[in-house]
Structure 1
Amino acid sequence: MKAAVYHGPNKLEVADVPEPSTREGTVKVQVGFNGICGTDLHEYYAGPIFIPTEPHPLTGRELPLVMGHEFSGVITEVGAGVAGWREGDRVAVEPIYKCGHCAPCRAGNYNICAQIGFHGLMSDGGMAEYTVVPTEMLHRLPDTVSLELGALVEPMSVAYHAATLGDVREGDTAMVFGAGPIGIGLWFALRGKGIDDVFVVEPSATRRASIEALGARTLDPTAVDVPGHIAEHTGERGADAVFDAAGVAPAVQTALACVGARRPMVSVAIYEKPLTTPLLNLVMNESRIQGSLCYTAADFEAVIALMASGAYDTTGWVTAIAIDDVVDEGFEALHAGEKMKVLVDPTKEN
């Protein structure tokens, strides 16, 4: 079968590899779509970062391996001991490997497991025609949710988890910094939670246009005094929650200048450079920075339910490509800012 195999920085090879076999407690999935995310880009251009160079404690795998942790598909084979799943079931995959015995796992917070692993980063993943996953990773897709949307459940769950940590309620004002895929996901999640007063802050005209086409209100930080605008809009109260999906110092500084007293800035970005952000505003307002990592099964189910209700729209920001084009039309195009979100379709001809 065809698969995108990661060997190291700037070396991703589309190769013919053996089709994987099921083991006890697993199923084989014919991949429908697999998304390329920011973590994949970091691995390709600057890795290995998360991809292990020695056997991972939970999976035993190290590079080279098949990439891909954002995917959906159809079960084609059921392994020994599997109950409740059968061939033909359509699924989205929650790709977390967890140890089950560290303090976070014992507390029910397995998304911050001390030994956390990901299918497609610490094992062979979904950027292939087939992949084999444990049944605990499976989430059933309703007939009304396409496989294309199903491949977006994982990144949209990252955003939904962050939106939940923001603790916003109907009538609140929220702000999203960055209109990439996670920023778009935050906007969808906040709207799904009944928050209508949402501003998306994004300097790129192309990205602003993409999210505006979905119905979002945007602010251009190069043309607008964003903190002043929010202060006026909220009667000097400030935003009830701000979400950083940009991962750059100017966005963080502006976000902290907008957040209201005793309210959070939720960080759901990867920061490539150290931040030297003044914290005086946090001290004076008793506001806070809240980290957000991954998702839980509850986030997956909430996103799937919202998708089934028609709350998500891929128009204008999602592109499907053939697996043979994964480097040029996928990684390189995303890195150059030519595309917003790319889904690899292993069945698509280039």
Structure 2
Amino acid sequence: MRAAVYRGREELVVEDVPEPTCAAGQIKVKVGHNGICGTDLHEYYAGPIFVPTEPHPLTGYRLPLTVGHEFSGTVVEVGADVFDVAVGEHVAIEPVYRCGTCPPCLAGHYNICRQIGFHGLMAPGGMAEYSVVPSWMAHRLPESVGPELGALVEPMSVAYHAVRLGEVGPGGSAVIFGAGPIGIGIWFALRGIGVEDITVVEPSETRRAAIAGLGATDVVDPARADPATHVMQRTGGRGADAAFDAAGVAGSVAAGMSCLGARKRLIAVAIYEHPIDTELLKLVMNETAIQGSLCYTAEDYRAVIDLMARGHYDTTGWVEHVPLEQVVEEGFAALRAGRKMKVLVDP
């Protein structure tokens, strides 16, 4: 079968690899779409970062391997002892490997497992015609959720998890820094839980237009208006009930802290390439907090799929498709250059 195999920095090769088969407890999925994630971009242009160069303790895999962890597809084979998933079902994959024995896992927070692994980063993933996963990674998709939305369940669950950590509810206010795919996902998630007062801060005209096209009504260009001043005016001086940094730069963290109301949280959900200095005195004087957010759990997947089934998500204007053979030029390179916002690879 054809697959995109990562071999190291700026080396991703579409080539023939053996088609996988199921062992006990596994399912084989014919991949419909696989999204390119910001993590994949970091891996391609600056890696290997997350892809292990020595065998991963939970999966045993190492470089080189087939990438892709945001995917959906159709079950075409099930292994022995699989009773909860059937051939022919459409599924989204929750790609987290966890040990089940470390303190976070035992507390139910397997998304921060001390040995965490990801299918498509620490095991051969979905940027291929077929992928084999443990059956517990599969989430059934209702008929109303097509394969395109199915491939977006993973990144939208990243966003939904961050929103849960923000502890903002109906009638509250929020500010989002960054209107890329995760920022858009945060906007959808906030609206899904009843938050309507949302400010989006984004320097890119293209991204501002995309999220405005989805229905965002308060979209700010930080080059033309100070986000903190804007949010304080909008909230009558109270400040936002939650801030979400999906940009991952020092300016967005500092501005997010300045936008917050007393004793509220900035949720950090970006990948930070460089160290960021934090004004601790500002945290102290306002009793605000910075909360990290890493991936998701099955609870977030179920919530996102439910919202999708009710027609809550819209891919218009920000999601594009490319064939597997063009994954580097029309996928990775186009995303890095800012020509596209979200790319789904179609094996």
Q: TM-score, normalised by structure 1?
A: 0.98
Give the share of equivalent positions with the same residue, in percent.
Answer: 65
- Measured in 1, the distance between the counterparts of 2:342 and 2:295 equals 18
- Measured in 2, the distance between the counterparts of 1:41 and 1:279 equals 31
**Which residue of the partner structure matches residue 324 of structure 1?**
325
Specify the SS of the correspondent of 2:302: helix
Specify the SS of the correspondent of 1:306: helix
- Measured in 1, the distance between the counterparts of 2:295 and 2:182 equals 11
- Measured in 1, the distance between the counterparts of 2:230 and 2:85 equals 52
**Which residue of the partner structure matches residue 207 of structure 1?**
207
- Counterpart of 1:320 in structure 2: which amino acid? H
- Measured in 2, the distance between the counterparts of 1:199 and 1:311 equals 19
Q: TM-score, normalised by structure 2?
A: 0.99
- Measured in 2, the distance between the counterparts of 1:52 and 1:226 equals 39
Contact 2:102 2:114 in 1 (8 A): yes
What do residues 275-320 of structure 1 show as CA deviations (whole Å, max 9, x unaligned)? 1232222111101001100100000000000000010000000001
- The answer to whether the aligner puts 1:285 opposite 2:295 as a matched pair is no
Contact 2:199 2:231 in 1 (8 A): no
**Which residue of the partner structure matches residue 182 of structure 2?**
182
- Counterpart of 2:341 in structure 1: which amino acid? M
- Measured in 1, the distance between the counterparts of 2:299 and 2:34 equals 21
Question: How do 1:222-261 residues align onto structure 2 when only pairs under 5 Å count?
Answer: 222-261=223-262
**Which residue of the partner structure matches residue 86 of structure 1?**
86
**Which residue of the partner structure matches residue 77 of structure 2?**
77
Please report the RMSD computed on the Cα atoms of aligned residues, expressed in angstroms.
0.6
Question: How do 1:119-158 residues align onto structure 2 when only pairs under 5 Å count?
Answer: 119-158=119-158
Number of residue pairs matched by the alignment: 346
Question: How do 1:111-122 residues align onto structure 2 when only pairs under 5 Å count?
Answer: 111-122=111-122
Give the superposition deviation at 1:84: 2.2
- Measured in 2, the distance between the counterparts of 1:162 and 1:99 equals 23
- Measured in 2, the distance between the counterparts of 1:33 and 1:244 equals 27
- Measured in 1, the distance between the counterparts of 2:186 and 2:261 equals 19
What do residues 61-108 of structure 1 show as CA deviations (whole Å, max 9, x unaligned)? 001000000000000011111102211000000000000000000101
- Measured in 2, the distance between the counterparts of 1:247 and 1:226 equals 16
**Which residue of the partner structure matches residue 49 of structure 1?**
49
**Which residue of the partner structure matches residue 100 of structure 1?**
100
**Which residue of the partner structure matches residue 9 of structure 2?**
9
- Measured in 1, the distance between the counterparts of 2:210 and 2:106 equals 41
- Measured in 2, the distance between the counterparts of 1:131 and 1:144 equals 24
Specify the SS of the correspondent of 1:261: strand
**Which residue of the partner structure matches residue 312 of structure 2?**
311
Give the superposition deviation at 1:233: 1.4
Give the superposition deviation at 1:57: 0.2
